[in-house]
Chain A
Amino acid sequence: MKKRAPETLAVPMSSMIDVVFQLLIYFIVTARDEVTEAHLAVNLPSPGNAKVSENKPKMLELEVHPRSLRLQGMELSQAEVSKMLVSLGKGDKDLTVLVKVSLESFASDLVTALDLCDKAGLVNLNVVTLK
């Protein structure tokens, strides 16, 4: 009787490694840096929140125009607005900022204005449209 040759029991790995490497390359190529996001609150009138307060809140007007900002009617640079908001915010955290946004301004202008208010610690923001 003839003896059989011993069988090789090794699993064929070459094709699996090929596939695995292709998967790895695909994920490395398509992966993107994770973007850290911030959510800037815009207060819209909430239903059933129409209580008239007895004390008129202190109001500050911040106008947003394309690539420019006006605080209380004065056109100021971003740094100046930031400085003024920080100094005003230190004294009164309950200060309400009325953010009037021009229809022609860009989203980035609005984000800048909201961001500066955030920096100054001012959280009572009302965004309205400047028509």
Chain B
Amino acid sequence: MKHRPDDTLETPITSMIDIVFQLIIFFVVTSAIDKDVVDESIKLASAQNAPAVETVDPHSVTINLHSDGEINVAMMPMSLPQLRNFLISMRSQSGNATPILIRCDGTTRYRKIDQVMQVVTEAGLYRVRIVAMLEE
């Protein structure tokens, strides 16, 4: 009786590895964008009608404002005087038309937002925008 040659029992994994690598590259590319300036713990107020933002001016400064009044820029905590000095230095670099984005929690009192806006005005900047989450 003739013997059959040994069957190879290996699973073909080449294509699976290709797909897995593509998935990893996708997640790496999409997750790294803007992570450094956006404070994910802030729950933005929602808007329904405003147009969605496609591109953000690379010179814009994002100020994260928590409901308790805590301020941070690029995750670096700041007091109001520190923020003023920072904005003054930004104005000297990029001009007084530098866009300021205030990312505040929906439950933040306007009192806190007003304090930040006063600091922005004192720093000689005027293009202020409140960031909201767009409801689909």
Residue-wise, chain B 1-36 has the 8 Å CB interface mask toward A (1 for contact) of: 000000000000100010011011001101100000
Bound form: Cα–Cα A98–B132 in Å: 20
Bound form: Cα–Cα A23–B31 in Å: 13
With a cutoff of 8 Å between Cβ atoms, the chain A residues found around residue B107 in the complex are 106-108
CB A11 to nearest CB in B, in angstroms, measures 11
**CB–CB A39/B113 < 8 A:** no
**CB–CB A37/B132 < 8 A:** yes
**Main secondary structure on chain B at its contact with chain A?**
mixed
Query: Closest 4 interchain pairs by CB?
Result: A27-B27, A38-B50, A119-B49, A108-B45
CB A70 to nearest CB in B, in angstroms, measures 15
A residues whose Cβ falls under 8 Å from a Cβ of B: 13, 17, 20-21, 23-24, 27-28, 30-32, 34-47, 64, 101-112, 114-116, 118-119, 129
Bound form: Cα–Cα A34–B133 in Å: 10
Range for the number of chain B residues in contact with chain A: 35 or more
Bound form: Cα–Cα A27–B134 in Å: 25
With a cutoff of 8 Å between Cβ atoms, the chain B residues found around residue A104 in the complex are 109-111
With a cutoff of 8 Å between Cβ atoms, the chain A residues found around residue B104 in the complex are 107
